[in-house]
Structure 1
Amino acid sequence: MLAVFAFKAYSVDIVKLQLQQYSKNKAAHNSDVIRRALEITEPEYGAFDLQLVEITMSGGRMILSGLTGKLVNTLILPGNARWDKQHIAIRIPIRLGLLGYRLLLINKVDLPKFEKINTLQELKELTAGLTNYWETTKILKHGGYKVMETGHFDGLFLMLDKHRFDYLPRSIYEIYAELEERKDTLENVVVEPTIALNIPMLSYVYVSPSEPRIAKRIKSGLQKLLANGELKELLYKHYGDDIIRANLQGRKIFQIENNYYNHDDNEYNNYLLYSK
């Protein structure tokens, strides 16, 4: 009996997920998705210990930490070919493609200027503010857009408030919460009401290469959640109000090509919120 107990104790899957640092909504959604993927697979895999790691890390450091599996072993990131090679990629879009729709934060003095924009070429004449480690930065630069880069996420909002650049694209589920959290320090920043960008991009779970069992378990759990509709329920639980507020149907939607995204590589297109 002691041997059996020791095996069960040893076989507990320890999942170390970084608690998302920029958005409480996103942090809650990330942890709920991973927790449910682990819970729904308990009959096959047994007990688990989900540890939410509260630490601030740059994107690069987080990725390196995920490689070793010591500090964190599970990451949720935009799909990326380089990360696919470095980690175990679970190519199930946990946000069902919602990441691909971006709204714009702008300085309120530019509201009339943005309202008159009707083409991507007109948008290209303006400057986006982005961090130097985002996938969006690489995509826009590759597409010939003007970009002002910084290594400091919070600094972007202050720079926009001072009108150092023209717009800051953020996802539907990030933009409102991020602005609300900074309303006391930003006098001039607003959500632009007429434009949305569609940059095809999916959020995937990446697991340290040292944890293949955890990767297999989470993948199985996500497949179950996708099939029973719970993945979509979790999305609307955390982001439903933002999706309604964004009013995509009432906006001009500009398509921006993402050369890092392979439409044929995603076997779950039928599940995407806005699949064509």
Structure 2
Amino acid sequence: MFTIKLLLALLISLLVHATIPACASDKDVMVYRYWDWGITPQRDDYQVAVLKLALEKTRTSHGEYRIERKLETLSRSRAHRAIAQGEFLNIHASPLRPLLTEQDRREQLAESIPVTIPLMKSLLGYRSLIIRRSDYEKFSGITDAAQLKQLIAGQGRGWTDIGIYEHNEYQVRGDAEYFTLFSMLLAGRFDYIPLSVIEVNGALSRFEQYSDSLMVLPDLMLYYPLPTLFHVSAKHPSLADRVEQGLTQARQDGSLDRLFEQHFSEHVHQMKSVKLRVFVLENPGVPSTLGLDRPLLLNPQSNPKPRP
């Protein structure tokens, strides 16, 4: 009996001493808990790859890191609250939110720190239109923005895009959840759903029950500046500082551009290969210094001059 107790005591002692160094070293690891929205996997995979690239660039200066992808179905408001708390989540990637007042700016900075280096060359701002197949002839006859403004766009509740459409005098309904957009379009609540070129096909595949009734309009596109940024919990400024330093290096040495090409060259090639009608919208929340006012990923001949 004594021998068994002694062996158990020795085993417990060994286990305790074995975990102490691991815990101590784990404190030196910078842990990034990333919100994985899950609706557009290609976008999330790219954003995590960019985060990893930035952290690899700073491994020598900042040490080890760990990325934890949190696949959670959260509303944007709940995700923002979680980021602000900085525990379950501490980083996510989303479009730059407009700051209309000084109070808006203070509230945002109290919640999260934006890393102001665009991740996707404003690719989210290249918007294809999902329409009812029965409306194809009506949409194919649209030649200028004034005609499109007679119709109603549908967007998800709380999306940054809603204010952009309103600023440009487009009609928009923004009271839907993402998962109800397509049934509402079929029900005639609005006339089209503008989604990023990297989202439209995946959306129709996800909701394949609507594929016979809905389609992507092939030759008309909207564009507005919509830079995607990392937003890091304000409670973890050192995490934000490291990401900014790593992205700065990746942008300067060209590795950020190469990663973008690796993930999205097919989408860019497809846009350039089609003769598009492109209506350019203004985004008052994006500084012109970012150089995103025009759709730079399109060929000049595919980029008509008139603005809405």
Q: TM-score, normalised by structure 2?
A: 0.81
2:62 maps to which of 39, 45, 49: 45
1:105 maps to which of 106, 127, 130: 130
- Residue number in structure 1 paired with 2:262: 237
- Shift of the 193–247 alpha-carbon distance from structure 1 to 2, 3 Å rule, reads farther
Higher RCO, 1 vs 2 (CA within 8 Å, ≥6 residues apart): 1
Report the secondary structure of 1:192's partner residue. Answer: strand
Matched residue type, 1:34: L
- Residue number in structure 2 paired with 1:56: 73
- Residue number in structure 1 paired with 2:225: 200
How far apart are residue 261 of structure 1 and its match?
A: 1.5
Report the secondary structure of 2:208's partner residue. Answer: coil
Instruction: Give, in whole Å, the separation in 2 of the partners of 1:222 and 1:274.
Output: 25
Matches within 5 A, 1:129-148: 129-148=154-173
Matched residue type, 1:119: D
How far apart are residue 275 of structure 1 and its match?
A: 11
Q: Which moved more, 1:255-264 or 1:121-130?
A: 255-264
Gaps of at least 5 residues in structure 2 are 1-17, 301-308
How far apart are residue 228 of structure 1 and its match?
A: 2.1
Instruction: Give, in whole Å, the separation in 1 of the partners of 2:67 and 2:58.
Output: 13
* 8 Å Cα contact 1:37-1:222 kept in structure 2: yes
Instruction: Give, in whole Å, the separation in 2 of the partners of 1:90 and 1:273.
Output: 23
- Does structure 1 residue 186 correspond to structure 2 residue 211? yes
| Larger-gyration structure (1/2) | 2
How far apart are residue 148 of structure 1 and its match?
A: 2.1
The alignment yields a C-alpha RMSD, in angstroms, of 2.5
- Does structure 1 residue 79 correspond to structure 2 residue 104? no
Instruction: Give, in whole Å, the separation in 2 of the partners of 1:185 and 1:123.
Output: 23
Report the secondary structure of 1:254's partner residue. Answer: strand
- Does structure 1 residue 262 correspond to structure 2 residue 258? no
* 8 Å Cα contact 2:272-2:298 kept in structure 1: no
Gaps of at least 5 residues in structure 1 are none
Matches within 5 A, 1:201-240: 201-240=226-265
Cα distance per residue 1:250-273 (max 9 Å; x no partner): 101101111112112x3899xx75
Instruction: Give, in whole Å, the separation in 2 of the partners of 1:161 and 1:40.
Output: 47
How far apart are residue 59 of structure 1 and its match?
A: 0.9
- Does structure 1 residue 157 correspond to structure 2 residue 182? yes
1:33 maps to which of 50, 56, 64: 50
Instruction: Give, in whole Å, the separation in 1 of the partners of 2:276 and 2:270.
Output: 12
Percentage of matched positions with identical amino acids: 25
Cα distance per residue 1:51-89 (max 9 Å; x no partner): 001111111111111111112101101011347534211
Instruction: Give, in whole Å, the separation in 1 of the partners of 2:55 and 2:297.
Output: 24
Instruction: Give, in whole Å, the separation in 1 of the partners of 2:252 and 2:208.
Output: 40
Matched residue type, 1:243: V
Cα distance per residue 1:91-131 (max 9 Å; x no partner): 10000121221111111111111111111111110010111
Report the secondary structure of 1:169's partner residue. Answer: strand
* 8 Å Cα contact 1:196-1:248 kept in structure 2: no
1:67 maps to which of 62, 69, 84: 84
Q: TM-score, normalised by structure 1?
A: 0.90
Instruction: Give, in whole Å, the separation in 2 of the partners of 1:268 and 1:257.
Output: 10
May I ask how many residue pairs the two structures share in their alignment?
Answer: 272
